[in-house]
Amino acid sequence: MASSTTGTDEGAFKTPKNVRVKSFASSGGTPVTIPASPFMKKLGCGTGVNVYLMDRMGKLNASPWAVKKINRKCADKQVAVYQKRLNEEAKVLKGIDHPNIVGFRAFATAKDGSKCLAMEYGGEQSLNDLIEKRKEDGLKAFPVANIEKVALHVARGLRYLHNEKKLLHGDMKSCNVVIKGDFESVKICDVGVSLQLDENMRVSDPKADYIGTEPWKPMEALEEGGEISDKADMFAYGLTLWEMMTLAMPHLEMLGDDDDKEDEDDSMDEESFDEDAYYERLGTRPTLDVEALGSSYQRMVELFFLCTEEEPKKRPSAAQVVQALESNAPLDKTPCEVIVID
């Protein structure tokens, strides 16, 4: 999910009536009624998809669902690509059961052929939404306790994907982490571009494309013929923690001279964007003002540094991160090169 919006999807009035469909849901094939897009609250959007809140009123003790649907405004060729991706996401999500990963509820095809993936929803917002709100409120880094909780719970979700399901998430970032309430729960979402891993934690299909999102891509995903492993997720995971410490997007908002922008609108326009500098920085570790954060953030800063090593072998695995965080062990005791932070 990307940034949150409300309202209706103006392009969806071609199917104004509720569509009764059958799914291969956890309900065992029980017919599921998916309302047409205009009759659901829009929660957010992603590449080629919109996400809606489906209020299941009338069903005893029924919790609401988040329903992901293809954006019908996409070109016909793109719609086919996104439908295939959503179908793959439904298959993957159906086989996943972990408290730190958004759960599967139903998968359906509407009469117009559009795919509808229903997922658990407990009032969550994306971490990216929370970052944007915090920035709008003029606040700085999240409290360290919030960052530590996200770090542990996302690492647990990634450990499950990597070790038990042999899956690379493939698109870790703040948009794909959902938070309930005051960090009551932390869950990974959007497994639609996940890739199968082999016993060595490398992507098993050499022809498989690592999709990712450009600012969060590690160097190996940007290089021709780069070997993709579970460590690609760990690089993006490190940048997700960086987002919480800086309230910025990797390699974009930090490009300019911050001292010159203190009293100006910090939004970036196309004219001020240094494209060459941006592409030179992709796949590298973005800068972090450690001194401004203070000593209480040292542990999260160390984790960020370890996970954003350019060489994949120097990054910790998700299992190593979980072990270190759960045992409160020093992060530099992992089998990674020790990072000294001045």
Measured distance CA(62)–CA(76) in Å, rounded? 35
Query: Which one-letter amino acid corresponds to residue 263?
Result: D
Q: Where are the beta strands (DSSP E) in 274-333?
A: none
Sign of the Cα torsion 332, 340, 317, 96 reads positive
Q: Looking up tokens 């649907």, which residue turns up?
A: 69
Q: Is 171 a catalytic residue?
A: yes
Q: Looking up tokens 């793959």, which residue turns up?
A: 88
Q: Write out the H or E segment, with its range, that includes residue 154.
A: helix 144-159
Measured distance CA(226)–CA(201) in Å, rounded? 14
Q: 340: which 2 tokens?
A: 């000294």
The Cβ of residue 281 has, within 10 Å, a number of other Cβ atoms equal to 18
The Cβ of residue 121 has, within 10 Å, a number of other Cβ atoms equal to 23
Q: Which of 9, 171, 230, 233 is an active site residue? A: 171
Region class of 247: left (phi > 0), else alpha (psi between -120 and 50), else beta: left
Measured distance CA(253)–CA(258) in Å, rounded? 9
Listed in sequence order, the residues at least 6 apart from 168 whose beta carbon sits closer than 8 Å to its beta carbon are 161, 162, 194, 195, 196, 197, 203, 210, 228, 229, 230, 232, 233
Q: Looking up tokens 């970032």, which residue turns up?
A: 173
Catalytic residues: 171
